[in-house]
Protein backbone atom coordinates (compact mmCIF):
# COMPACT_ATOMS: atom_id res chain seq x y z
CA UNK A 1 0.00 0.00 0.00
CA UNK A 2 1.22 3.49 -0.81
CA UNK A 3 2.42 5.67 2.09
CA UNK A 4 0.04 8.49 1.09
CA UNK A 5 -2.56 6.87 -1.16
CA UNK A 6 -4.40 9.23 -3.53
CA UNK A 7 -8.05 9.93 -2.84
CA UNK A 8 -10.78 9.84 -5.43
CA UNK A 9 -14.25 11.28 -5.83
CA UNK A 10 -17.43 9.94 -7.32
CA UNK A 11 -20.18 12.40 -8.23
CA UNK A 12 -23.65 10.89 -8.57
CA UNK A 13 -26.87 12.54 -9.68
CA UNK A 14 -29.70 12.16 -7.20
CA UNK A 15 -33.15 12.89 -8.62
CA UNK A 16 -36.14 13.00 -6.28
CA UNK A 17 -34.42 10.80 -3.73
CA UNK A 18 -33.06 8.17 -6.14
CA UNK A 19 -29.46 7.58 -7.23
CA UNK A 20 -29.13 7.76 -11.03
CA UNK A 21 -27.05 5.17 -12.93
CA UNK A 22 -25.74 3.87 -9.62
CA UNK A 23 -24.26 0.64 -10.94
CA UNK A 24 -22.10 2.56 -13.44
CA UNK A 25 -20.63 4.57 -10.58
CA UNK A 26 -20.08 1.56 -8.32
CA UNK A 27 -18.36 -0.20 -11.23
CA UNK A 28 -15.96 2.71 -11.67
CA UNK A 29 -15.23 2.77 -7.94
CA UNK A 30 -14.50 -0.97 -8.03
CA UNK A 31 -12.21 -0.57 -11.05
CA UNK A 32 -10.35 2.32 -9.43
CA UNK A 33 -9.94 0.41 -6.18
CA UNK A 34 -8.69 -2.68 -8.03
CA UNK A 35 -6.11 -0.66 -9.98
CA UNK A 36 -4.73 0.92 -6.79
CA UNK A 37 -5.10 -2.31 -4.81
CA UNK A 38 -7.44 -0.67 -2.33
CA UNK A 39 -9.51 -3.01 -0.12
CA UNK A 40 -12.61 -0.87 -0.70
CA UNK A 41 -15.76 -2.24 0.92
CA UNK A 42 -18.76 -0.96 -1.03
CA UNK A 43 -21.20 -2.74 1.25
CA UNK A 44 -20.93 0.47 3.30
CA UNK A 45 -22.42 2.50 0.43
CA UNK A 46 -25.66 4.15 1.61
CA UNK A 47 -28.86 2.54 0.38
CA UNK A 48 -30.94 5.69 0.78
CA UNK A 49 -30.38 9.43 0.48
CA UNK A 50 -31.09 11.75 3.44
CA UNK A 51 -34.45 13.45 3.74
CA UNK A 52 -33.06 16.86 2.71
CA UNK A 53 -32.02 15.41 -0.67
CA UNK A 54 -35.31 13.61 -1.34
CA UNK A 55 -36.84 16.22 -3.65
CA UNK A 56 -35.27 17.84 -6.71
CA UNK A 57 -31.82 17.28 -8.19
CA UNK A 58 -28.83 16.87 -5.89
CA UNK A 59 -25.18 16.07 -6.31
CA UNK A 60 -23.92 13.25 -4.13
CA UNK A 61 -20.15 13.61 -3.71
CA UNK A 62 -18.24 10.63 -2.35
CA UNK A 63 -14.59 10.86 -1.30
CA UNK A 64 -12.76 7.56 -0.95
CA UNK A 65 -9.42 5.81 -0.95
CA UNK A 66 -9.05 2.51 0.92
CA UNK A 67 -12.51 3.23 2.32
CA UNK A 68 -15.33 5.73 1.89
CA UNK A 69 -14.20 8.86 3.75
CA UNK A 70 -16.95 11.38 3.14
CA UNK A 71 -20.42 11.63 1.58
CA UNK A 72 -22.06 15.00 1.01
CA UNK A 73 -25.21 16.15 -0.79
CA UNK A 74 -25.77 19.55 -2.36
CA UNK A 75 -28.48 21.01 -4.64
CA UNK A 76 -27.36 20.92 -8.24
CA UNK A 77 -27.78 23.61 -10.87
CA UNK A 78 -25.83 23.21 -14.15
CA UNK A 79 -23.39 25.94 -15.11
CA UNK A 80 -24.23 27.84 -18.26
CA UNK A 81 -21.28 27.62 -20.65
CA UNK A 82 -21.32 30.05 -23.55
CA UNK A 83 -17.66 29.98 -24.61
CA UNK A 84 -14.64 27.66 -24.42
CA UNK A 85 -10.95 28.26 -24.95
CA UNK A 86 -8.78 25.55 -26.46
CA UNK A 87 -5.91 24.73 -24.09
CA UNK A 88 -3.10 22.22 -24.63
CA UNK A 89 -3.21 19.64 -21.83
CA UNK A 90 0.43 18.62 -22.26
CA UNK A 91 1.28 15.64 -20.05
CA UNK A 92 -1.93 15.84 -17.99
CA UNK A 93 -3.13 12.38 -16.86
CA UNK A 94 -6.64 12.21 -15.41
CA UNK A 95 -7.62 8.60 -16.12
CA UNK A 96 -8.96 8.36 -12.57
CA UNK A 97 -11.30 10.82 -10.89
CA UNK A 98 -8.78 12.19 -8.42
CA UNK A 99 -9.86 14.41 -5.54
CA UNK A 100 -6.78 16.51 -6.28
CA UNK A 101 -7.76 18.61 -9.30
CA UNK A 102 -4.90 21.09 -9.03
CA UNK A 103 -3.48 20.20 -12.47
CA UNK A 104 -6.86 20.83 -14.09
CA UNK A 105 -7.26 24.06 -12.16
CA UNK A 106 -3.89 25.32 -13.43
CA UNK A 107 -5.10 24.77 -16.99
CA UNK A 108 -8.43 26.43 -16.23
CA UNK A 109 -6.63 29.63 -15.27
CA UNK A 110 -5.79 30.00 -18.98
CA UNK A 111 -9.46 30.42 -19.95
CA UNK A 112 -9.25 34.23 -20.09
CA UNK A 113 -12.67 35.71 -20.72
CA UNK A 114 -14.15 32.34 -21.74
CA UNK A 115 -16.40 30.36 -19.39
CA UNK A 116 -14.25 27.22 -19.42
CA UNK A 117 -11.52 25.38 -21.33
CA UNK A 118 -11.60 22.61 -23.93
CA UNK A 119 -8.45 20.56 -23.44
CA UNK A 120 -6.45 19.11 -26.32
CA UNK A 121 -3.78 16.40 -26.32
CA UNK A 122 -1.46 15.98 -29.30
CA UNK A 123 -3.88 17.91 -31.49
CA UNK A 124 -6.97 15.88 -30.48
CA UNK A 125 -10.03 17.10 -28.60
CA UNK A 126 -10.51 15.61 -25.11
CA UNK A 127 -12.69 17.12 -22.33
CA UNK A 128 -13.53 20.38 -20.64
CA UNK A 129 -12.32 20.97 -17.08
CA UNK A 130 -15.35 19.13 -15.67
CA UNK A 131 -17.12 17.26 -18.47
CA UNK A 132 -16.85 15.05 -21.49
CA UNK A 133 -18.04 16.53 -24.77
CA UNK A 134 -20.36 15.45 -27.58
CA UNK A 135 -20.08 17.06 -31.00
CA UNK A 136 -22.98 17.18 -33.43
CA UNK A 137 -23.25 17.52 -37.20
CA UNK A 138 -25.61 16.29 -39.92
CA UNK A 139 -24.23 12.75 -39.50
CA UNK A 140 -25.15 12.48 -35.81
CA UNK A 141 -23.61 12.76 -32.36
CA UNK A 142 -19.97 11.91 -31.71
CA UNK A 143 -17.60 11.70 -28.74
CA UNK A 144 -13.84 12.06 -29.22
CA UNK A 145 -11.95 8.77 -29.01
CA UNK A 146 -9.50 10.69 -26.84
CA UNK A 147 -10.64 11.69 -23.37
CA UNK A 148 -9.13 12.55 -20.02
CA UNK A 149 -11.74 10.68 -17.99
CA UNK A 150 -14.02 8.00 -19.41
CA UNK A 151 -17.12 9.38 -17.73
CA UNK A 152 -20.04 7.20 -16.72
CA UNK A 153 -22.53 9.08 -18.91
CA UNK A 154 -20.13 8.90 -21.87
CA UNK A 155 -19.92 5.13 -21.39
CA UNK A 156 -23.72 4.82 -21.15
CA UNK A 157 -24.39 6.87 -24.28
CA UNK A 158 -21.93 4.71 -26.22
CA UNK A 159 -23.42 1.48 -24.84
CA UNK A 160 -26.93 2.65 -25.78
CA UNK A 161 -25.84 3.62 -29.30
CA UNK A 162 -26.89 7.26 -28.86
CA UNK A 163 -23.40 8.55 -29.70
CA UNK A 164 -20.51 7.17 -31.73
CA UNK A 165 -16.81 7.44 -31.00
CA UNK A 166 -14.35 8.85 -33.52
CA UNK A 167 -11.02 10.72 -33.66
CA UNK A 168 -11.67 14.46 -33.59
CA UNK A 169 -8.73 16.77 -34.16
CA UNK A 170 -8.72 20.46 -33.44
CA UNK A 171 -8.67 21.00 -37.20
CA UNK A 172 -11.89 18.94 -37.50
CA UNK A 173 -13.99 21.26 -35.35
CA UNK A 174 -15.30 23.16 -38.37
CA UNK A 175 -17.03 19.93 -39.46
CA UNK A 176 -19.43 20.24 -36.50
CA UNK A 177 -22.01 22.84 -35.58
CA UNK A 178 -22.71 22.18 -31.90
CA UNK A 179 -20.87 20.95 -28.79
CA UNK A 180 -22.67 19.47 -25.75
CA UNK A 181 -21.19 19.13 -22.27
CA UNK A 182 -22.03 15.89 -20.45
CA UNK A 183 -21.12 14.35 -17.14
CA UNK A 184 -22.81 12.32 -14.41
CA UNK A 185 -24.96 15.34 -13.49
CA UNK A 186 -25.61 16.63 -17.03
CA UNK A 187 -27.25 14.70 -19.85
CA UNK A 188 -27.93 15.65 -23.44
CA UNK A 189 -31.48 16.48 -22.37
CA UNK A 190 -30.18 19.36 -20.21
CA UNK A 191 -28.88 20.92 -23.45
CA UNK A 192 -25.77 22.50 -21.91
CA UNK A 193 -24.37 23.33 -25.32
CA UNK A 194 -22.81 26.00 -27.46
CA UNK A 195 -22.10 26.52 -31.15
CA UNK A 196 -18.66 25.41 -32.26
CA UNK A 197 -18.10 28.98 -33.37
CA UNK A 198 -17.99 29.90 -29.65
CA UNK A 199 -14.77 27.92 -29.17
CA UNK A 200 -11.75 30.22 -29.07
CA UNK A 201 -9.05 28.47 -31.12
CA UNK A 202 -7.05 31.60 -31.95
CA UNK A 203 -4.86 31.56 -28.85
CA UNK A 204 -3.81 27.95 -29.35
CA UNK A 205 -3.19 28.51 -33.05
CA UNK A 206 -0.91 31.42 -32.21
CA UNK A 207 0.95 29.32 -29.65
CA UNK A 208 1.52 26.56 -32.18
CA UNK A 209 2.72 29.01 -34.79
CA UNK A 210 5.17 30.53 -32.33
CA UNK A 211 6.73 27.13 -31.72
CA UNK A 212 7.32 26.51 -35.41
CA 172 from centroid of its chain's CA atoms: 21
**pLDDT, tens digit (0-9, with 9 covering 90-100), for 16-30:** 999 999 999 999 999
Average pLDDT, the chain: 93
How much is the pLDDT for 100?
A: 96
Q: Span 67-77, mean pLDDT?
A: 95
- The per-residue pLDDT for 47 is 86
Give the alpha-carbon dihedral of 28, 35, 102, 9, to 10 degrees. 30
pLDDT in tens, 91-141: 999 999 999 999 999 999 999 999 999 999 999 999 999 999 999 999 999
Distance CA 28, CA 38 (A): 13
Report pLDDT digits (tens) over 146-193.
Answer: 999 999 999 999 999 999 999 999 999 999 999 999 999 999 999 999
> How are strands ordered across the β-sheet holding 84-88?
124-128, 116-121, 84-88, 199-200
pTM attached to this predicted model: 0.91
Amino acid sequence: MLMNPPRFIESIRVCNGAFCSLEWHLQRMRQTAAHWQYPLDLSLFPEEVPEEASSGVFKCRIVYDTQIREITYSPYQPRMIRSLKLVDGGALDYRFKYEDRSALMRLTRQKGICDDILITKDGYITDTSYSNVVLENSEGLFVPHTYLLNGTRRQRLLAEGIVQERPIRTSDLNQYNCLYLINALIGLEENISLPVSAIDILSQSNALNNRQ
